[in-house]
Amino acid sequence: MSTFTIWESEVTTDCKCTDENEQPITGDCWGWCLQFAEEDVAFLVEEWLERNQITDDPDEVTVLITTEAMNWDRVSAHAITTADKLVEALRINGDYRLRFKLQRTELSIVRYSHDEPTGSLFTVGIIVDERQPE
């Protein structure tokens, strides 16, 4: 029986970053802090693909993001993107926090925002193209 470590990562517009002297940096998260958080997510996505036996690069893997309760009115929605664009697909115009969780071979993301104070759960699936190359 194989066991998998649970991986978690977070991207937020409310960063708690430090400078080279380990002093807190305040303000928005559109600089280095966000870049480092997104790099952590990229490693998590690569691990997710590996666990699902996908050897293609993340920018070549098509994924389906689904939710049953998004925004203040809890609407259902879906989006199709590539594995390397998950953060971009779930980014909103405003403050937010994306919590990525990889458990076994399943990837889920919870987005928190003003309109989603208790979080909206998104699940991510891999779309496999079974057509044979010509």
Please state the separation of Cα 72 from the chain's center in Å. 20
Query: What was the pLDDT predicted at 1?
Result: 47
Element (H, E) at 50: helix 32-51
The Cα–Cα gap between 61 and 42 comes to: 13
For 65-107, how does the pLDDT look when each residue is reduced to its tens digit (9 = 90+)? 999 988 888 899 999 999 999 999 999 998 999 999 999 999 9
Query: What was the pLDDT predicted at 24?
Result: 65
Query: What was the pLDDT predicted at 71?
Result: 87
For 120-129, how does the pLDDT look when each residue is reduced to its tens digit (9 = 90+)? 999 999 998 7
**b/e string for 52-78 if b means 16 or more Cβ within 10 A?**
eebeeebeebebebebeebeeeeeeee
97 strand-pairing partners: 12, 112
